[in-house]
Structure 1
Amino acid sequence: MSEPTKRLTTEQKEEPFLKLVFELGPLLIFFFANLRGEWLMRTFPVLAPIGSPLLVATALFMAATVISLIASRIVMGNIPIMPLVSGVVVMVFGALSIWLQDETFIKMKPTIVNGLFAAVLLGGLLFGRSLLGYVFHSAFKLDDEGWRKLTLRWGLFFVFLAILNEVVWRNFSADTWVNFKVWATMPITIAFTLAQMPLIMRHSTEPLGEEKKDEG
């Protein structure tokens, strides 16, 4: 195997890990800032005027999100569309929460983001377009039926996440909602993603053994 091929393979393995780091980083900052919000306000008085611990965590979450997007652009050369959309909504709803001193806006952010993704994916299907294929075409090569099924499943999954977020933030405490957002949403998403592998393998236009055959 040539050096360029080795290097490409290494980069391909590292990219999903880097994406996970860039997405998890701001969430972990959000969680720990909410957990130690009062201590942060005592230690850094400049944060006190922001408001409650959750609003302080929101401000730090916004800053961490911007840093994460910039780092993604520098390190990977691009900003994935989903984190970009999510980041924009974080900025808008986070700013509204802090400005109006109302935690409702930041709690509704996941509902808005997931609802938006669901509307785009399911709406695209109504017009005969499997939009998920435009996002992940470089990662998977599927036939048209595969992209339609995968787009439908992800669209419905985003609806599920939006409803689940509404149920949690409206019926439980702010701390419970933060724990759910950080420690439950990501595992649920990972589990759902792994559950799609049989479908991806069935509809893949590039058999798994083909890559190894080409290398030989």
Structure 2
Amino acid sequence: MKAAFEFLVVILFFATYALTKNIILATEVAVAAGIIQAVWCLFKYRRLQTMQWVSLLLVIILGGATIILKNAHFIMWKPTVLFWVMSAGLMISHLCGKNVLKSTIGKEINMPEPAWRKLTYIWAVFLLALGSLNLWVAYTFTEAQWVNFKLFGSTTILFLFLIGQAVYISQYTKKDEL
């Protein structure tokens, strides 16, 4: 339920665009929804996670630039910047001796350190590539095609990547744990 709630801003952005074909209006809805969502999370959970803060700041800054300057390319950069920040965060924390993936999901999954390190590298490269792909779509295709890619394309790619990650992790899962 919480994951669906976090995806709500993207759905509202897409729905507004689908109904109006107006990316500025869709961005206004996304900015408002992002702020409301953050306030609700702060009220309910008393905090926002780091990536929620980053996403909120990006939607406010890049969405605000889109609205003020009437230039859709600012909001089109939001997924790329978010993916690249996540990639950089993974690598910086790794270089500082902390594995964010292990600290996040390591309680449920028992893997050796080299496997965690490899998974971190895989995620970092994947996020860099997905961010780059977003920019390629944004500057190569129409606005409407980018909006569709944002909802359906990148979500499908991420889902397929997660399946691949599950296959990779499954080799470290004991048969009796299943």
Matched, 1:157 2:143: no
Gap change, CA 1:70 and 1:146, over 3 Å in 2: farther
Q: 1:150, CA displacement in angstroms?
A: 1.3
Q: Any stretches of 5+ residues in structure 1 without a counterpart? A: 1-17, 39-52
User: Number of aligned pairs?
Assistant: 178
Aligned counterpart, 1:65? 34
Q: 1:209, CA displacement in angstroms?
A: 3.0
Q: What whole-Å deviation, never above 9, does each CA across 1:154-175 have from its counterpart, x for those lacking one?
A: 1011011111011000011111
Q: 1:117, CA displacement in angstroms?
A: 1.1
Q: Distance in 2 between matches of 1:113 and 1:157?
A: 13
**1:120-139 alignment to 2 at 5 Å?**
120-139=89-108
Contact kept? 1:145, 1:203, Cα under 8 Å: no
Q: Distance in 2 between matches of 1:76 and 1:188?
A: 30
Q: Distance in 1 between matches of 2:110 and 2:45?
A: 22
Larger of the two Rg values belongs to structure: 1
SS in 2 for 1:203: coil
Q: Distance in 2 between matches of 1:77 and 1:190?
A: 29
Q: Distance in 1 between matches of 2:106 and 2:53?
A: 18
The alignment's C-alpha RMSD in Å is 2.4
Q: What whole-Å deviation, never above 9, does each CA across 1:127-172 have from its counterpart, x for those lacking one?
A: 4442322333344343322221111111011011111011000011
Aligned counterpart, 1:209? 176
Q: 1:69, CA displacement in angstroms?
A: 3.2
Give the alignment partner of residue 19 of structure 2, picking from 21, 24, 36. Answer: 36
**Identical amino acids, percent of aligned pairs:** 28
Matched, 1:107 2:76: yes
Q: 1:73, CA displacement in angstroms?
A: 4.7
TM-score for the superposition, normalised by structure 1:
0.72
- Which segment is superposed worse, 117-126 or 133-142? 133-142
Q: Distance in 1 between matches of 2:65 and 2:140?
A: 22
Matched, 1:191 2:129: no
TM-score for the superposition, normalised by structure 2:
0.86
Q: Any stretches of 5+ residues in structure 2 without a counterpart? A: none
Aligned counterpart, 1:22? 5
Off by >6 Å, runs of 4+ in structure 1: none
